Amino acid sequence: MESGIEIKCKKKFGQFLLTEEPQIIVNDNETIQLKWNKEFFISLQPNVPYKFTVQFPYSLMNSICGAASFSTQVQPGEIQSYEYHTPFLATSPGSIKRRS
């Protein structure tokens, strides 16, 4: 059975200037491209600690914005579910909540 996390990234209503897709960085070295409002599954080795950072490029400022980080460790066969929300201001940190 597979172990890992599911993550969904959501923008606040009216944030139409956020045109670039979000990304997640695993253990500060692997970057995975995500999509807004779509569930994405990341397979993980059980009983190994992982650090994740979700962020998005913001073309108007030519920088990375909305970063939010969390750490977790999954058990064999466990799938944890998370939801990332953009901040009200792109330059502020985003938020991540565990759903299950």
Q: What confidence score (pLDDT) does residue 84 get? A: 97
Mean of all residue pLDDT scores within the chain = 92
With beta carbons less than 8 A apart as the criterion, state whether 58 and 90 touch. yes
Is pTM beyond 0.75? Reply is yes
Partner residues linked to 40 by β-bridges = 7
Torsion angle (degrees, nearest 10) of CA 3, 85, 49, 81: -20
Q: For residue 100, what pLDDT band results from cuts at 50, 70 and 90? A: confident
Q: For residue 18, what pLDDT band results from cuts at 50, 70 and 90? A: confident
> How many domains, in total, are found in the chain?
1
Q: What confidence score (pLDDT) does residue 85 get? A: 95
Owning domain of residue 30? 4-98
CATH code at position 68: 2.60.40.1120
C-alpha–C-alpha distance, residues 33 and 31, integer Å: 7
